[in-house]
């Protein structure tokens, strides 16, 4: 039996510093909430790219505030292709506005997708 349920319609990635293509969806898998980047995801390679859940919308996010009150989900697995990020236990998705791809080493916001 498949317990995977789509949580939202795909949210398209938006450019801030560099172009991002593709979309992100949220799936509930049993007790886990998973952010799923589409197979068509693609962006420029970077030295220290991380994925964050942010309380700031993509339009308001900058390199300076991208990690403020954000949850780091981990290093970007690849600059292209489908990938998944599991939300840590205790994190409530509805408390966040966007998913951001951000270079921590140089405080450069690649871009993101609004999820609320």
Convert the pLDDT of each residue in 5-57 to its tens digit: 555 689 999 999 999 999 999 999 999 999 999 999 999 999 999 999 999 99
* Rounded Cα distance, 39 and 30, in Å: 23
Q: Is the CB of residue 102 less than 8 Å from the CB of residue 110?
A: yes
Angle, alpha carbons 89-90-95 (nearest 5°): 125
Domain count, the chain: 1
Residue 4, pLDDT above cutoff 60: no
Pair of tokens at residue 44: 């420029």
Residue 31, domain extent: 4-114
Q: CA-based Rg of the chain, rounded to a whole angstrom?
A: 13
Residue 108, pLDDT above cutoff 70: yes
Tell me, what's the pLDDT at 66? 96
Tell me, what's the pLDDT at 9? 85
Tell me, what's the pLDDT at 7? 58
* Rounded Cα distance, 14 and 3, in Å: 30
**Dihedral angle at the C-alpha atoms of 96, 66, 5, 95, nearest 10 degrees?**
-10
Give this prediction's pTM. Answer: 0.92
Maximum separation of any 2 CA atoms in the chain, in Å: 45
Tell me, what's the pLDDT at 116? 86
What's 60's DSSP letter?
A: G
Tell me, what's the pLDDT at 3? 44
Instruction: Compute the mean pLDDT over every residue in the chain, rounded to the nearest whole number.
Output: 93
């Amino acid at each position: 039996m498949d317990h995977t349920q789509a949580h939202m319609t795909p949210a398209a990635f938006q450019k801030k510093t560099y172009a991002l293509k593709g979309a992100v969806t949220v799936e509930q898998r049993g007790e886990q909430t998973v952010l799923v980047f589409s197979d068509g995801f693609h962006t420029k390679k970077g030295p220290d790219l991380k994925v964050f859940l942010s309380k700031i919308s993509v339009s308001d996010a900058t390199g300076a505030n991208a990690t403020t009150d954000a949850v780091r989900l981990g290093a970007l697995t690849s600059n292209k292709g489908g990938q998944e990020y599991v939300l840590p236990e205790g994190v409530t998705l509805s408390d966040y506005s966007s998913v951001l791809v951000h270079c921590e080493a140089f405080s450069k916001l690649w871009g993101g997708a609004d999820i609320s």
